Amino acid sequence: MSDFDFDARLERLFSQTPKVLDPEGFAQRLEHRLEREWTVRRLLIGAAGVIGATVTLSQTLGSHFLTRAEAVAGPTARALTKDIAAFDPQALLGDRMLWSGEALWTIAVLAGLAAAFMATRWAEAL
């Protein structure tokens, strides 16, 4: 339940601006204080980021992540290199499955989407 006397008093207090003897000095002190607080916040956020990066790096290196990733990626990279070397683009272009009805419809739909995106960009530029 609302207290009408309190609401009226609060509204009266906020409707009256406080009297300041030196408005320029007050504004400068306020700006200086706000800037100082932002500097402290920036320093604290930067310090937290450095600490977080240090912890992440130490945990990553401590778990031997790089050696494990190399052990997993080694055989995969060799197989991929062998597959790339054996790839023949002429066989792909001559393949009838590439130009099937589903592929042509997919190409048409993608072209339509690209046209729709270009139309929306053009409309936003107007």
Per-residue pLDDT tens over the stretch 45-101: 999 999 999 999 988 888 888 788 888 888 888 888 888 888 777 766 666 666 677
Whether 10 and 58 map to the same domain: the answer is: yes
Whether 31 and 77 map to the same domain: the answer is: yes
Report yes or no on whether pTM surpasses 0.75. Answer: no
3-state SS assignment for residue 25: helix
Q: Which domain holds residue 62?
A: 1-87
> So what's the pLDDT on residue 92?
65
Task: Give CA–CA dist 27/113, Å, rounded.
Answer: 54
Number of domains the chain is built from: 2
* Segments of the chain assigned E as strands: none
Whether 8 and 53 map to the same domain: the answer is: yes
Whether 57 and 115 map to the same domain: the answer is: no
Measured distance between the N- and C-terminal CA atoms of the chain, rounded to whole angstroms: 52
Asked whether residue 28 carries a pLDDT value surpassing 80, the answer given is: yes
Task: Give CA–CA dist 35/82, Å, rounded.
Answer: 60
Local confidence band at 102 (pLDDT 50, 70, 90 cut-offs): confident
> So what's the pLDDT on residue 113?
96
Whether 11 and 22 map to the same domain: the answer is: yes
Question: For residue 1, what is the DSSP state?
Answer: -
Whether 52 and 81 map to the same domain: the answer is: yes
Whether 67 and 7 map to the same domain: the answer is: yes
Whether 2 and 22 map to the same domain: the answer is: yes
**Share above pLDDT 90 across residues of the chain, in percent, rounded to a whole number:** 21
> So what's the pLDDT on residue 82?
86
